[in-house]
Amino acid sequence: MLTNRLAADSELHVFCDGPRPGQEQRVREVRAYVRSITGFARVVLHEQEVNLGLSRSIIGGVSEMLKTHERVIVLEDDLKLSPGFLDFMNQSLQAYAANPQVMSVSGYAFPIRHDRSLAQDAVFGVRASSWGWATWRDRWQAIDWEVSEYARFRGNPLRRRQFNRGGSDLSCMLDRQMAGQIDSWAIRFCFHQFLHGLVDVFPVRSLVENFGFGAGAENCKQDVRGWTSEMMEAPPTRFRLPADVRTDPGVLRQFRSFNSLRARAIRVAKRQWLSLRARFGPSASAAAAPKAGGPSRLGPLSPR
């Protein structure tokens, strides 16, 4: 983040969860590193003595920040940022602060195509991302984290289909959350977005890349490199943000297609083939190689 010109003007608050059994030394090392960080206007370490887990940590940390701030930018520790990330986030937070229809700002952009004649640097979507995002106090405080509407939603095929306009995995992911099978604040965030007809704004080229996948990762143990979009390496100082808050049908079609059941199945098959190839060599799995498809089924919502 220090490559961003606004870093020196930004407060950095680091929330460090308590250790799980056997991880005490690793947590101490992380906290020592955080105390050594310089280059920001202020660095504050928030230490948790007990392990809260993902959802409670995110919800609690963001809620704490929004007690004293009107808006917040949220990052996890496994993200690479474009030099324009903070510019885009701050300019978007300012531009849409008075428009309650915009629920969040996403620094990550899904790998979808945009019209080359597009005279703007951002568009609107219906599926928020947890890979570098921001929101406002009033929108965050309106979220029902208990999901009291779930009982009515669960058995309603029409509502489930409508929720899945951002991808066929959304309803099932909410089911898993409510069954206690995953620990996700983000799917509840997206469900609130759906219930109230809200949108998020995201750049046409990604300002975030996630490198936190693999066996040592907490949530994305599968390969997510296929979710990587073209990174905006030379961003403008001022982003051209659309004044008219409305979604583009072409963009929404690509959201549905990218997260469709077929596309996700192809990504699973490709991931399994790549795993076999890495383990046994190219010849071992050549016959089973799938057609070129998208990335892993995991992505910027799962299961954060």
Would you state the pLDDT for residue 261? 62
Categorize the per-residue pLDDT at 296 as very low, low, confident or very high, splitting at 50, 70 and 90: very low
pLDDT digits (tens, 9 = 90+) for 219-248: 444 545 445 566 777 889 999 999 999 998
pLDDT digits (tens, 9 = 90+) for 251-293: 888 877 766 666 556 655 666 666 677 677 655 444 443 443 3
Q: What is the pTM of this model?
A: 0.83
> Which DSSP letter does residue 206 get?
B
Would you state the pLDDT for residue 225? 47
Would you state the pLDDT for residue 246? 93
CA distance linking residue 174 with residue 44, whole number of Å:
33
Q: Which helix (H) or strand (E) holds 277?
A: helix 261-280
**Domain 78-260 belongs in CATH node 3.30.300:** no
Task: Give me the residue spans of the domains in the chain.
Answer: 78-260
Range from 66-75, 107-116, 245-254 carrying the lowest mean pLDDT: 107-116
Would you state the pLDDT for residue 115? 73
Range from 97-106, 170-179, 248-257 carrying the lowest mean pLDDT: 248-257
Pairing assessment for the beta strands 102-106 and 208-210 based on DSSP bridges: unpaired
- pLDDT above 70 for 301: no
Q: Which residues of 176-188 are buried (b: 16+ CB within 10 A; e: fewer)?
A: bbbeeebbbbbbb
pLDDT digits (tens, 9 = 90+) for 72-94: 999 998 899 999 999 999 999 99
Backbone angles phi, psi at 208, to 5 degrees: -140, 140
Best CA proximity match to 299, nearest among 257, 238, 254, 258? 258
CA distance linking residue 230 with residue 209, whole number of Å:
9
